[in-house]
Chains A and B, each alone.
Chain A
Amino acid sequence: MSMENKRYYLELRGVNKKYGNFQASRNVNIQIEKGRLVALLGASGSGKTTILRIIAGLESPESGEILIDGKLVNNTPGSERGVGFVFQSYALFRYMTVYDNIAFGLRVKKKPRNYIDDRVHELLKLIDCEGLEKRYPNQLSGGQRQRVAFARALAPNPQLLLLDEPFAAIDAKIRLELRAWLREMITNLQITSIFVTHDQDEAIEVADEIIVMNHGEIEQTGSPRELYSHPQTPFVAQFIGASTPVENYQRFRFFQSLGDDTTAILRPEFVSVFKKGENKKYTESAEEGVVEDVIFRGSNLEIRVRIHGVVLSGNRGINDPVVEIGEKVDVFVYRFLVVDGKKIVRLDNSSLREESIII
């Protein structure tokens, strides 16, 4: 029994939460190891924020257990669960200076004045906001506010940090910097963290582990790489990564059929587009398509090709020979993610196997 009881820092068992008739969480099970950085990913209304609020003690579930560090905390107030919470709009106290905001949690806990002063200055240094302690929240930039909110949550040394859409209110360029900053910070502090996001790129880039939620249920949990290459449900396959749905994928050569009315999901990475005669290796197994559009994406080109009556997206490098709109090209599809009922089956191009035998 004790063998299978692997020690998780946070565990949710069969958590259900309803708001009136709306089921916000349905039988949610989560296990998070100490020191992990986890993303709760889902569209708006998928119940991800509800889970965060339940962990923080801001909501109580109708049924289910919440365990932090092995202890059942269902009846423990949020302030005694050892959690820090960063709100989506930061909720910095407007009438308090940066210093007072960060010191708030320490003053509440009646820490000695010297300790508070040292801790606040330590945190100000950590968030790179030294010299801003006398400012009010409205005198800060968005990024600074976010970091102050982060410092305020960290001040009482929580063991678990919860962040609700931490980057939502920040403009695109600073968001990228802050993501990297936050990831580095949390990794250095070794604090178990969960952040909610609706942005798959953000989750993939920042998190060690992603929990994908949909309609109050967990669809799949795994590392970004796992979710990307081995999605288990149609929702995850479409939600993570770029995808084009393809019906009747059997029309493509070298793909066996898994049933009549199944659809497949195709990612741009699964598609190679070659100029005629450019590639020798796949000439035999490639099929002919017509270029419909070439879209400049900065670091690469997205080529939209019509083949077998569907338009697929594939990528080409900036330095590859130019393809023109209307040009006939060779298209090679490596793989489909086939939707089989509620499951996803990875279907590889069968010519790849044959060729590998020849080589």
Chain B
Amino acid sequence: MKLRKNKNIIPGFGLTFGVTITILSLIVLIPLCSLVVYSAKLSPAEFWHTITRERVLSSYCVSIGTSLVAALVNVVMGLALAWVLVRYEFPGKRFLDGIIELPFALPTAVAGISLTHLTTTNGWVGKIFYELFGVKLAYTPIGITIALIFVGIPFVARSVQPVLEKFDVQYEEAAVILGASKSRIFLTVIFPEIIPALISGFTLAFARGVGEYGSVVFISGNIPYETEIAPLLIMSKLQEFDYAGATSIALALLLLAFVILSANAIFQSVVSKRVSGLA
């Protein structure tokens, strides 16, 4: 009775909700549950031991550290990229706009191989850095970071772009007439508007970086304790048929991703409440 009273006037709720739950269960929830089930084959002590082994811990550090740096770089680069694409007219703009998604479309292994090629001490870019600054790019955490920047840049650019497009010039004009300088307008008027999109782009890029495998394995060199990333450890466990071990490490990664994404979701809802006037 109550349901009928509150019947939504927008049709199709039953159908779309059913499809959503089915797809979500089949593709997301059930595989994730199987992770837990597999890991549960280990006793809590074994589980804890598996995920806190020194080699595993240092792989987490490598993964999280490089992803964090890469996501931060992407925030700056993605913002600049979105800014240029929204604010200015220049020849080749549409082309540039089109190739932003290339890192999504390209098989990550292809990206990994070509980046490795460029950044080894014999490669075009790696050579310059090695000879001028004595810095090795490939087979170091710097190389991993480069690969993760490449993979993550569309996230930030594409989350900020629509926000900037929607941003009304009236706000800037109002600030200009009140005498604000360009940097002040950017920091106090424009920046607060794009922070939610920036953070959302940052979290997506970061979460993707932590889980990234294909583009990183070639460039990282996979030196244990130094450039070995967590997803690679999972792969090697799998190759050793240690499924429980692999899923345990994966479960820890999953928890981390969940925490990052939830933090973002909470932040977004706080901000949107303020703007929609419900706070």
Is B170 a contact partner of A108 (Cβ separation < 8 A)?
no
Q: Which of B170, B179, B184, B192 has the most C-beta atoms of chain A within 10 angstroms of its own C-beta?
A: B179
Some 28 contacts from A to B, beta carbons below 8 A apart, are A57-B177, A58-B176, A77-B176, A78-B177, A79-B177, A79-B178, A80-B179, A83-B177, A87-B170, A87-B173, A88-B170, A91-B170, A93-B171, A93-B174, A93-B189, A94-B192, A94-B193, A95-B193, A96-B188, A96-B192, A104-B175, A105-B178, A105-B179, A108-B178, A108-B179, A108-B184, A109-B179, A136-B274
Is B170 a contact partner of A89 (Cβ separation < 8 A)?
yes
- Given A93-B189, A94-B275, also A104-B180 (CB < 8 A): yes
Is A152 a contact partner of B193 (Cβ separation < 8 A)?
no
Is B178 a contact partner of A56 (Cβ separation < 8 A)?
no
Q: Report which of A85, A93, A94, A136 forms a contact with B177, defined as CB distance below 8 A.
A: A85
B47-68: which have CB < 8 Å to A? none
- Given A108-B184, A136-B277, A138-B276, also A91-B179 (CB < 8 A): no
Annotate A40-67 by CB proximity to B: 1 below 8 A, 0 otherwise: 0000000000000000111000000000
Which residues of chain A are within 8 angstroms of B168 by Cβ–Cβ distance? Answer: 89, 91
Which residues of chain B are within 8 angstroms of A58 by Cβ–Cβ distance? Answer: 173, 176-177
**In the assembly, what is the distance between CA of A109 and CA of B171, in Å?**
18
Chain A residues packing against B (C-beta within 8 Å): 56-58, 77-80, 83-85, 87-89, 91, 93-96, 104-105, 108-109, 136, 138-139, 152-153, 156
Is A91 a contact partner of B171 (Cβ separation < 8 A)?
yes
Nearest chain B CB to A302 CB, angstrom units? 40
Of the four ranges (under 10, 10 to 19, 20 to 34, 35 or more), the interface on chain B belongs to 20 to 34
Nearest chain B CB to A83 CB, angstrom units? 7
Nearest chain B CB to A56 CB, angstrom units? 6
**In the assembly, what is the distance between CA of A88 and CA of B24, in Å?**
45
Q: Report which of A80, A91, A109, A156 forms a contact with B174, defined as CB distance below 8 A.
A: A91
Which residues of chain B are within 8 angstroms of A85 by Cβ–Cβ distance? Answer: 173-174, 177
For B276, the closest partner residue in chain A by CB is A138
Which residues of chain B are within 8 angstroms of A83 by Cβ–Cβ distance? Answer: 177
**In the assembly, what is the distance between CA of A58 and CA of B172, in Å?**
11
Chain B residues packing against A (C-beta within 8 Å): 168, 170-171, 173-181, 184, 188-189, 192-193, 274-277, 279
- Given A91-B170, A108-B184, A136-B274, also A84-B175 (CB < 8 A): no
Which residues of chain B are within 8 angstroms of A89 by Cβ–Cβ distance? Answer: 168, 170
**In the assembly, what is the distance between CA of A152 and CA of B173, in Å?**
13
**In the assembly, what is the distance between CA of A141 and CA of B209, in Å?**
44
Which residues of chain A are within 8 angstroms of B175 by Cβ–Cβ distance? Answer: 93, 104
- Given A87-B170, A89-B170, A108-B184, also A95-B177 (CB < 8 A): no
Q: Report which of A56, A80, A94, A108 forms a contact with B180, defined as CB distance below 8 A.
A: A108
**In the assembly, what is the distance between CA of A188 and CA of B174, in Å?**
24
Which residues of chain B are within 8 angstroms of A156 by Cβ–Cβ distance? Answer: 178-179
Nearest chain B CB to A192 CB, angstrom units? 16
Which residues of chain B are within 8 angstroms of A88 by Cβ–Cβ distance? Answer: 170
For B179, the closest partner residue in chain A by CB is A79
Which residues of chain B are within 8 angstroms of A95 by Cβ–Cβ distance? Answer: 192-193, 274-275
